[in-house]
Amino acid sequence: MIAVADTETGFAPGEHRWYSNIGYRAVGVVLEAVTGVRYGEQLQRRVLDRLRLRESLAVMTHETRRRLPWGHVHVLPWAWAWAPVPFRR
């Protein structure tokens, strides 16, 4: 977040839409600092568990990665992507 603080957007407000998770990361950093509890744990407890989303996870780990739907494929050593793959059971 600090690294992008002094960067230019490259376009005027409202001219182009660009998705970024940096706002969520900023909220997570603040929540972690204030509560002393990791953001993923808070999201799991405060949102997902309350909504009874038992199959949803706030944080992806190597252990939980195998639970991804078959539509996700490993495209690079560090990246996953959507891909048109056959449905499997």
pTM above 0.75, yes or no: no
Give the model's pLDDT for residue 88.
Answer: 46
Query: With 0-12 CB in 10 A as exposed, 13-18 as middle and 19+ as buried, what is 32?
Result: middle
Taking the CA atoms of residue 57, residue 58, residue 63 and residue 69 in that order, the dihedral angle to the nearest 10 degrees is: 50
Give the model's pLDDT for residue 74.
Answer: 61
Do residues 83 and 72 make contact, with C-beta atoms less than 8 angstroms apart? yes
Residue found under tokens 């780990």 = 61
Helix (H, G, I), strand (E, B) or coil at 64: helix
Sequence letter at residue 11: F
Residues of the chain with pLDDT under 50: 87-89
